[in-house]
Structure 1
Amino acid sequence: MSSPTVRPLALDLVHGALGFAFVSVAAFSVWAFAAKAFKNFGGELGMYAAIAAVFLGLSGLLLSPLAGGMGRFYKAFLPAFLLYSLVWCIAWFGLKGRTGEWVGAAAGCLVFAWLSMKLLGSTRGWIAAAVALFVLHTAGYFAGDWAMYDYWLKKPAFHDLAPADKAHAALMGKLSWGLCYGLGFGAGIGWVFNRARVGA
């Protein structure tokens, strides 16, 4: 059986970034628009599960060419993203704060890169791919953090806003985080899947 056609790395980076940005904004919309609903329906963990479901459900529709088809994409992405999410949540709930975020990003990117490449047929160069994923993912994550807390919710100006303006700023902050996170992580996914296809 022949390997899927290898596309240029730059194309996969752009495809991954733009496609996953759309998916991520949709997923972060759960947090932005429905966070209060989860207070009595699974709490923070339930909200994370709903967000993960949006990520899993939409990613294949937009990113399947990265793997050469929907079946191949989900074969690799579903278990890799679930394990990444589990590792990130363990780090976040266990360590909290910046430590949890950094540990979750590092460990999550390592397992995502290795497992997805393994399931796509080649782990050749997986460490380099994991490093690229970590850099792109983490740049997007912390750019989103900055966009939310240092731009939209910047203190003390935020406290002087009217309630409706505060709600708007909070909404835009969450969606901005989703956009930045999706661009960074998506570019990293494009890199990982391209390297797996090159080595297959």
Structure 2
Amino acid sequence: MTPSQRTAIRLGAIRFCIASLIVYATVAFGEGWLYATLGRAGAYALWTILFILLGSVTLAPLAPSVSRPRFATIFTLAFLGYAIGWIVAYFVLRGSVGEWVGSFAGCLLIAVVFASAFGRLSSTPQLFVYLFAANSVGYFLGSILNSLFGGPVGMLSWGIAHGIFFGAGLGAVLGEIEDVKKEDVEM
């Protein structure tokens, strides 16, 4: 692992954790209101949009070879694929099987989009492994923390765990396809 890859993993974890914490805070403090106001589909759409907007902003500096608008487009397509793969699997299969299949499908779609967009199709399996491992650890650790603490603290803990690990996975992907140097990334 190169220093630039370590930097990308670390910064991805920190930056995406912030995005995740904001999204999970809307769940912790507004889930009931969002379901009542927007319905289940509307709430999930809002959370997907928030992840796309915040993820695009926080992770764009880790992709210096593309403009921010181009990165936002790539990330939007990747995260839409992730969300669709996850949500369909979860609502069709339900429970932990749906969560595992959702993580698999969603991470595979992100890997394909990033590999295609950066001209690295042969790296798709490696990118998928980074994403699937990191996302799954973060999501399921977060679920355990949520069960342990409950309420808003549990949900915020879930957001932190998921954000750190999924962000590290996204950072690993960007570190693999980019040469990320700490001094090039705006803090």
Give the alignment's TM-score, normalised by structure 2: 0.88
Q: Hey, what does 2:79 align to over in structure 1?
A: 81
Q: Hey, what does 1:190 align to over in structure 2?
A: 171
**Unaligned runs of at least 5 residues, structure 1:** 1-5, 154-169
* C-alpha distance in 2 between matches for 1:80 and 1:127: 15
Q: Hey, what does 1:166 align to over in structure 2?
A: none
Q: Hey, what does 2:157 align to over in structure 1?
A: 176
Contact persistence 2:6–2:175 (CA under 8 A): no
Contact persistence 1:30–1:50 (CA under 8 A): no
Deviations 1:27-48 (A, max 9, x none): 1111111111123223222211
How far 1:128 sits from its partner (Å)? 1.2
Q: Give the SS at the match of 1:8.
A: helix
Residue 29 (str. 1) matches residue 25 (str. 2): yes
Q: 1:137 to 1:92 in 2, by over 3 A?
A: same
Q: Hey, what does 1:96 align to over in structure 2?
A: 94
Deviations 1:95-118 (A, max 9, x none): 110000000001110110111221
Q: Give the SS at the match of 1:124.
A: helix
Residue 56 (str. 1) matches residue 56 (str. 2): no
1:146 to 144, 149, 153: 144
* C-alpha distance in 1 between matches for 2:9 and 2:35: 37
Q: Hey, what does 1:13 align to over in structure 2?
A: 9
Contact persistence 1:113–1:126 (CA under 8 A): yes
How far 1:62 sits from its partner (Å)? 1.6
How far 1:185 sits from its partner (Å)? 0.7
Deviations 1:59-84 (A, max 9, x none): 22221111114123213211000111
* C-alpha distance in 1 between matches for 2:130 and 2:114: 14
Root-mean-square deviation (Å): 1.6
How far 1:7 sits from its partner (Å)? 7.0
Q: Hey, what does 1:119 align to over in structure 2?
A: 117
Q: Give the SS at the match of 1:121.
A: coil
* C-alpha distance in 2 between matches for 1:196 and 1:66: 10
In structure 1, give the amino acid aligned to 2:175. Answer: N
Q: Hey, what does 2:185 align to over in structure 1?
A: none
In structure 1, give the amino acid aligned to 2:164. Answer: L
* C-alpha distance in 2 between matches for 1:45 and 1:196: 34
Give the alignment's TM-score, normalised by structure 1: 0.83
Moved over 3 A (4+): none
Deviations 1:136-161 (A, max 9, x none): 11000011011110x203xxxxxxxx
* C-alpha distance in 1 between matches for 2:176 and 2:135: 16
